[in-house]
């Protein structure tokens, strides 16, 4: 455990990283930079000043009071490791484009596969993000079963349907329950009556962080000889909390995370819960033989070893070696362990969501919609009249007022839920419109655990200011 270890200084790490790379560059011999690369110092000063000022237009993603979308800065180790490799700018398309970072990519990808319980021979690589990782999975699904359709749930990430169109693959949509989880009865019906080649299951929906019944759905798919792709772009790292050594977390579907080990392919995003900057997704295939679909004959690719080129098993060509280096370095410093490193972080996030839910339950001014499965909490300001139109207006209003609070702004996000889901989750609600906005907080920073009481109190007070009557 690293309870008393200090938070690393990004300044110190960056300085060390850039100085080291600079010395390495100089070791190759001095040369004069071409005059065309120069920039007038006054202009640079102005431009850079304007740039830095414009960045202030961001929301404070780093702060515990930012509890809105899936956003947080990378860990200082990732920032510095990325900067060091980025300065050299290796391209992990080919082994010769960046030998060290290509090797690191293979090692880091193997660690992700191992965490998820996939076999040693798993074939995988990093991608620009979850969308491309899923695209590759759907593409392999179509190549394997060109005449069958790919089934995705109504609450699966919206890009599956879009990528189905890109691939000209038939995509079947399956209904979900009120929490956004694939309905097993609907899956069974589809498996019996439709020609389905691959089913996409989600381990942590982007909406409510819900987890499909992966264990049971996988068993059904196996019975029908149907492949399974698990979209664990968001939730993949929570697999650490399903380990026997991890502390138990109430309502966490550990069994479904363990079942991911049986999937045919898995997408996981290190740029979500893996502490990385954007540009780091990962696709994993159980059967390395699917690598044959990627075969290409690029005149640019040079071969100096018998090893498989990462560029030969990726749809993308150029990819940042820095992304692989940063992930490798981060996982060395913060290992994929159940009670240490990344496990300690995602465990705190899961507990943060339970703490938020508990505090919301204690406040009359707020209504919890459903107990969290992962680290996303959905709630509404308790309206005077329980109609969806009142809830819609109250959610919008609290969202804006919390963000505009001059002293202690709180950032949440709005999420639209259909009337049927809302009235199932909260039978006291009356559907006077088709859908309503609710508040959604993604608690992907471990600090959200400690600030739960304060932030929820503040939201509750804003939702219904105390009266002196
Ligand atoms: C974020 C997310 C994606 C898309 O990944 P990007 O990295 O944003 O391209 C896909 N599926 C799920 C479940 C996600 O949460």
pLDDT at position 306 over 90: no
pLDDT at position 89 over 70: yes
The larger pLDDT score, comparing residue 250 to residue 95, is at 250
Residues whose CB falls within 8 Å of the CB of residue 431, separated by 6 or more in sequence, listed in order: 387, 388, 419, 420, 422, 423
Give, using CA atoms, the residue closest to atom 3 of ligand 1: 130
Minimum-distance ligand 1 atom for the alpha carbon of 134: 10
pLDDT score of 309: 67
Q: How confident is the model over 265-286, as a mean pLDDT?
A: 98
Minimum-distance ligand 1 atom for the alpha carbon of 203: 13
Rounded distance from Cα 27 to ligand 1 centre (Å): 42
For 384-402, the pLDDT digits (tens) are 899 999 999 999 999 999 9
Q: How confident is the model over 41-60, as a mean pLDDT?
A: 98
3-class secondary-structure state, position 51: helix
Rounded distance from Cα 16 to ligand 1 centre (Å): 33
Q: What is the mean pLDDT of the chain?
A: 95
Rounded distance from Cα 192 to ligand 1 centre (Å): 29
pLDDT at position 95 over 90: no
* In the chain, domain spans: 84-333, 341-463
pLDDT at position 233 over 50: yes
Closest CA relative to residue 345, chosen from 251, 441, 272, 267: 272
The rounded percent of the chain whose pLDDT value lies above 70 is 95
pLDDT score of 304: 42
Long-range contacts (CB closer than 8 Å, 24 or more residues apart) made by 312-316: 313/123, 313/125, 314/93, 314/125, 314/127, 314/136, 315/127, 315/132, 315/135, 315/136, 315/139, 316/93, 316/127, 316/128, 316/132
pLDDT score of 438: 98
* N-terminal to C-terminal alpha carbon distance within the chain: 51
Rounded distance from Cα 246 to ligand 1 centre (Å): 26
Give, using CA atoms, the residue closest to atom 6 of ligand 1: 130
Cα 433 versus chain centre, distance: 32
pLDDT at position 303 over 50: no
Q: Which CATH architecture group holds 84-333?
A: 3-Layer(aba) Sandwich (3.40)
Rounded distance from Cα 307 to ligand 1 centre (Å): 30
Distances (CA, A) of 323 to 93, 97, 234: 12, 14, 18
**d(C-alpha 93, C-alpha 263), whole Å:** 26
Q: How confident is the model over 276-280, as a mean pLDDT?
A: 98
Residue with tokens 């639209």: 416
Give, using CA atoms, the residue closest to atom 5 of ligand 1: 130
**d(C-alpha 125, C-alpha 135), whole Å:** 13
For 51-67, the pLDDT digits (tens) are 999 999 999 999 999 99
Pocket of ligand 1 (CB under 6 A): 129-131, 134, 157, 159, 202, 206, 231, 233-234, 269, 281
pLDDT score of 420: 97
For 112-166, the pLDDT digits (tens) are 999 999 999 999 999 999 999 999 999 999 999 999 999 999 999 999 999 999 9
pLDDT at position 177 over 70: yes
**d(C-alpha 24, C-alpha 17), whole Å:** 11
pLDDT score of 350: 98
Q: Which CATH architecture group holds 341-463?
A: Alpha-Beta Complex (3.90)
Closest CA relative to residue 360, chosen from 251, 466, 461, 250: 461
pLDDT at position 297 over 70: no
Give, using CA atoms, the residue closest to atom 8 of ligand 1: 130
pLDDT score of 56: 98
Ligand 1 probe mutation, 133, 159, 256, most atoms within 8 A of CB: 159
pLDDT band with cut points at 50, 70 and 90 for residue 295: confident
Minimum-distance ligand 1 atom for the alpha carbon of 206: 15
pLDDT score of 104: 97
Ligand 1 probe mutation, 137, 234, 374, most atoms within 8 A of CB: 234
Rounded distance from Cα 432 to ligand 1 centre (Å): 32
What one-character-per-residue DSSP string does 158-207 give? Answer: HHHHHHHHHTT--EEEE-B-TTSPBPHHHHHHHHHHS-EEEEEEEBS-TT
Closest CA relative to residue 423, chosen from 432, 413, 411: 432
Rounded distance from Cα 157 to ligand 1 centre (Å): 7
Are the folds of 84-333 and 341-463 the same? Answer: no
Ligand 1 probe mutation, 130, 153, 155, most atoms within 8 A of CB: 130
Rounded distance from Cα 160 to ligand 1 centre (Å): 10
Q: How many CB atoms neighbour CB 458 within 10 A? A: 18
Minimum-distance ligand 1 atom for the alpha carbon of 232: 13
pLDDT score of 469: 45
pLDDT at position 464 over 90: no
pLDDT score of 296: 66
Rounded distance from Cα 235 to ligand 1 centre (Å): 10
Rounded distance from Cα 431 to ligand 1 centre (Å): 31
Ligand 1 probe mutation, 70, 72, 128, 131, most atoms within 8 A of CB: 131
Cross-strand pairs, 380: 367
Rounded distance from Cα 268 to ligand 1 centre (Å): 8
Q: How confident is the model over 324-345, as a mean pLDDT?
A: 98
Rounded distance from Cα 49 to ligand 1 centre (Å): 33
Rounded distance from Cα 208 to ligand 1 centre (Å): 13
Ligand 1 probe mutation, 133, 231, 266, 274, most atoms within 8 A of CB: 231
Contact 204, 212 (CB under 8 A): no
Cross-strand pairs, 440: 378, 413
């Amino acid at each position: 455990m690293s309870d008393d270890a200090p938070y690393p200084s990004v300044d110190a790490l960056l300085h060390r990283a850039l100085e080291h790379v600079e010395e390495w560059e100089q070791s190759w011999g001095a040369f004069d930079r071409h005059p065309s690369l120069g920039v007038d110092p006054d202009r640079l000063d102005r431009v850079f000043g304007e740039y830095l000022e414009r960045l202030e237009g961001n929301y404070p993603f780093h702060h515990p009071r930012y509890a809105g979308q899936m956003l947080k800065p990378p860990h200082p180790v990732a920032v510095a490791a990325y900067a060091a490799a980025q300065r050299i700018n290796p391209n992990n398309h080919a082994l010769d484009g960046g030998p060290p970072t290509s090797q690191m990519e293979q090692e880091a990808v193997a660690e992700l596969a191992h965490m998820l319980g996939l076999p040693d021979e798993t074939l995988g690589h990093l991608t620009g993000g979850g969308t491309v990782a899923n695209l590759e999975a759907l593409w392999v699904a179509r190549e394997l079963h060109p005449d069958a359709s790919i089934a995705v749930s109504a609450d699966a990430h919206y890009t599956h349907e879009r990528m189905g169109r890109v691939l000209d693959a038939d995509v079947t949509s399956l209904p979900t329950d009120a929490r956004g989880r694939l309905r097993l009865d609907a899956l069974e019906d589809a498996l019996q009556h439709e020609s389905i080649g691959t089913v996409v299951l989600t381990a942590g929906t982007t909406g409510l962080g819900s987890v499909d019944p992966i264990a049971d759905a996988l068993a059904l798919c196996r019975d029908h000889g149907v492949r399974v792709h698990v979209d664990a772009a968001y939730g993949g790292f929570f697999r650490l909390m399903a380990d026997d050594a991890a502390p138990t977390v109430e309502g966490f579907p550990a069994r479904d995370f363990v079942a991911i080990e049986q999937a045919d392919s898995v997408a996981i995003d290190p740029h979500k819960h893996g502490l990385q900057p954007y540009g780091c997704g990962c696709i994993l295939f159980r059967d390395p033989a699917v690598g044959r679909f990627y075969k290409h004959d690029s005149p640019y690719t040079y071969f100096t070893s018998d090893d498989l080129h990462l560029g030969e098993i990726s749809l993308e060509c150029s990819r940042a070696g820095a992304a692989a280096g940063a992930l490798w370095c981060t996982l060395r410093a913060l290992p994929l362990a159940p009670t240490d490193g990344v496990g300690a972080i995602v465990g705190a996030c899961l507990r943060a969501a339970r703490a938020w839910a508990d505090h919301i339950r204690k406040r009359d001014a707020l209504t919890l919609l459903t107990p969290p499965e992962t680290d996303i909490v959905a709630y509404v300001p308790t309206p005077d009249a329980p109609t969806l139109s009142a809830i819609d207006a109250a959610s919008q209003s609290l969202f804006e007022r919390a963000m505009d609070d001059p002293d202690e702004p709180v950032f949440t996000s709005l999420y639209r839920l259909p009337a049927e889901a809302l009235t199932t989750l909260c039978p006291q609600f009356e559907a006077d419109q088709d859908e309503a906005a609710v508040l959604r907080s993604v608690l992907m920073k471990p600090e959200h655990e400690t600030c739960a009481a304060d932030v929820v109190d503040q939201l509750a007070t804003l939702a219904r200011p105390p009266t002196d009557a």
